[in-house]
Amino acid sequence: MLLKVLIVVLLLAVVISLGLALKQLMRPTDDLTHQRKLAKALTFRIGLSVGLFLLLLLAAALGWIRPHGV
């Protein structure tokens, strides 16, 4: 149950990070700080996504979760 909660929290963090990056992208400035915030938000989202993917692979390999239909 704890693993499922962790997965949902990580998915929500990915969506929130994507929303923050969209907010930065929609601002009409060419400021260097703006570009850094956008890059930071997207990098954070990619890191979260990769971490979640690796967590799912590890959990499946250790038998903590089972894919449906297998």
Residue 7's contacts (CB-CB under 8 Å, 6 or more residues apart) are: 52, 55, 56
pTM: 0.77
Mind listing the pLDDT tens digit of every residue in the chain (70 residues)? 899 999 999 999 999 988 888 888 887 777 788 788 888 888 988 999 999 999 999 999 998 988 887 5
